[in-house]
Amino acid sequence: MTVKELFQQPPLLLAPMAGYSDAVFRRLCREEGCDLAFTEMISAKGLLHANEKTRLLCRPGPQEGPLGVQLFGSDPVSMGVAARVVTEELGDDLFCLDINCGCPARKIAGNGDGSALLLDLPLAEKVISAVVRHTTLPVSVKFRSGWDEGHIVSADFARMAEAAGASFLTLHPRTRMQQYSGVADWNEIEAVKHAVSIPVVGNGDVVDGPSACRMLEETGCDGLMIGRGALGRPWVFSEIRAALNGTDFAPPEGQELKKRILRHGALELAAKGDHGMVELRKHLPLYFTGRRGASGLKKALSQVKTMEELGRLLLDRDGCDQYNSMN
């Protein structure tokens, strides 16, 4: 698959989410119609120091199609070398490299990486150019609107990234200072779309079929990236594709929802052994977000230690009102 082929129809992409976008979750989303999934953000310096934990983040899971690997760092040399290493090691398992220019976390931005690059476009240009030079694969860039409301750089950053060799861009139109609060300003996506000739992916506040259709219509973007909207709802990709095609979609409920949660757990255990339960506990409460009376069940799920315990909890008729339909 080439970039041109990816964008023949509006593609649905899974965002790189630290602590969540592991191989198992990527697989679940791909099965639901996600066209391209990205790894969690990976430290370029961690890769070069042969950090095995960091290298594991790059590794595709079984039955996973070509993926995007997201790198972060602000040193052009280490980013370039990391791009070459990942390209050589993953080969056909890799579709593209993505550069993180948007992470708002203090430990990332405070070190000059992620969204801190929005404050230094010349340095960001060097980073992007270095990655492009050291890989034979498409390079994408994920970025935010700016550092704060007084420093909105979306269009300028996009033009710079295109000139530096980026094949496509993803904009999350919040500032670094907003973190994940407030409302994403989709007008910035439209502005970026008008500023460049390469494909632009919109990200931010796409959580279902209607919001996906609105973003495409209002911004003219070429594709959609879903992040938090997929947590606890990997089927959101099927829902969005159905909305784009004008067909009906019914989310899993009852026994079908229970079956999917248990399969998620089984896959985590198969991939990571006992540590899989630790990873799973982050996901489980999210399956019941927004369900009336689910607070007690969500708390119990966040502390579950075994699959047997998980099975018992999913049989508990006192979990929450909407959940009772599963029994």
Catalytic site residues? 103
Sign of the torsion angle spanned by Cα atoms 106, 107, 112, 117: negative
Tokens representing residue 179 in the block:
């973190």
Helix (H) or strand (E) segment spanning residue 93: none
HSE-up (13 A, CA, CB side) for residue 162:
17
Q: Classify 12 as helix, strand or coil.
A: strand
**Which one, of 225, 255, 201, lies nearest residue 29 by Cα?**
225
Question: How distant, in Å, are the alpha carbons of 154, 320, 325 from that of 295?
Answer: 39, 8, 17
In DSSP notation, 101-138 reads E----HHHHTTT-GGGGGG-HHHHHHHHHHHHHT-SS-
CA distance 196 to 165: 12
Helix (H) or strand (E) segment spanning residue 200: strand 200-203
Q: Which residue has the tokens 């799920």?
A: 301
Tokens representing residue 161 in the block:
């990234």
CB-based burial label for 318 (10 Å; 0-12, 13-18, 19+): exposed
